[in-house]
Amino acid sequence: MSEHFLTVEGLGKSYPPAGGKASPPVFRDIHFHIEQGEFVCIIGHSGCGKTTILNVMAGLERPSEGNVIMEGREVVAPSLDRGVVFQGHALMPWMSVLGNVAFAVKSRWPDWKKAQVEAHCARYLEMVGLGQALHKKPSELSGGMKQRVGIARAFAIQPRMLLLDEPFGALDALTRGTIQDELLGIVQATRQTVFMITHDVDEAILLADKVLLMSNGPLARIAEIVQVTMPRDRTRNTMHHDPQYYRIRNHLVDFLVNRSRDYAGAAADARHPPVVRPGLADGPEAAIPEPASGRPAARAVHS
């Protein structure tokens, strides 16, 4: 039995042949673990299988190989222990803001009285700044407000883990920043465990305890795991003053721009990536195996 809160072991995904011709796996040999209360972001180019990995963790899709173990049990189906927020808000248009959240809460606690359900929902809607919009319909809300409802709904069922698939990707920069701050505040207050897909490097640095970097697909894999060693109480307005910020950011951007393709289809003996610690590393620099192309991989940057 795994000692970690969640463990992904040897995950791989292939799809049936199209037109009689087999295609290579989207990804293979995906190994990582998440501790309780940890915020993990995953970054990679389109087509590397990030959303498929999240769907497997949510129990919405089955892998071709490998498994996901959460608190000692294999994930094989959706569960209210895992709340999911997608880029699309998926609100029911005929229900009010309160009704959309209450629908999920009543599924979680079917014996609760109406007043108890509504008070519980109102608490989480207040957390995301929608305390004055309880009785509005989705058609009366902006895109950012709709995403807030989705986040409140996910938190309101008090899942053991939150899975976020680019939930802010369609929002303007100002709204995105505001909701990121709200999310960070709720996560820190509840010690929620979070797995989040993002394409935004700064978002990952702000929110995550560690960042998983995926190589390009097909045959994608977790090439590096970067621990964000900046203080946990960092904020959007202060984190760029930390000298670690630019080291970490440059490392992530360099991977996405220059190195992600070099790991694609790498040998199986390189499937277990090293932990890379830009910034305040707490140990000797880990050796990073050379990618498939033979071009040396970048080394961790130490302060």
- The string of pLDDT tens digits covering residues 183-194 is 888 888 888 899
- The string of pLDDT tens digits covering residues 121-146 is 999 998 888 989 999 999 999 888 88
Please name every residue paired with 6 in a beta bridge, in sequence order, or none if there are none. Answer: 34, 70
Domain ranges of the chain: 1-78+162-172+191-303, 82-158
Predicted confidence (pLDDT) at residue 269 exceeds the cutoff of 70: no
pLDDT score at 289: 38
- The string of pLDDT tens digits covering residues 21-43 is 767 888 989 999 999 999 999 99
Predicted confidence (pLDDT) at residue 74 exceeds the cutoff of 90: yes
3-state secondary structure of 18: strand
Q: Are 57 and 8 in contact (CB under 8 A)?
A: yes
pLDDT score at 2: 58
Q: Output the six-digit token pair for 294.
A: 């033979």
Is 6 or 154 the better-scoring residue by pLDDT? 6
Tell me phi and psi for residue 61, to 5 degrees.
-145, 145
Q: Are 297 and 266 in contact (CB under 8 A)?
A: no
Q: pLDDT confidence of 235, banded at 50, 70, 90?
A: confident
Q: Output the six-digit token pair for 159.
A: 């899942």
Question: Domain 1-78+162-172+191-303 - what CATH class?
Answer: alpha beta
Q: pLDDT confidence of 295, banded at 50, 70, 90?
A: very low
Average pLDDT over residues 221-246: 88
Average pLDDT over residues 152-170: 88
Cα torsion 16, 18, 22, 25: sign: negative
222-227 sheet: strands from edge to edge? 82-85, 161-165, 193-197, 39-43, 210-214, 222-227, 275-276
From the number of C-beta atoms within 10 Å of its C-beta (0-12, 13-18, 19+), residue 301 rates as: middle
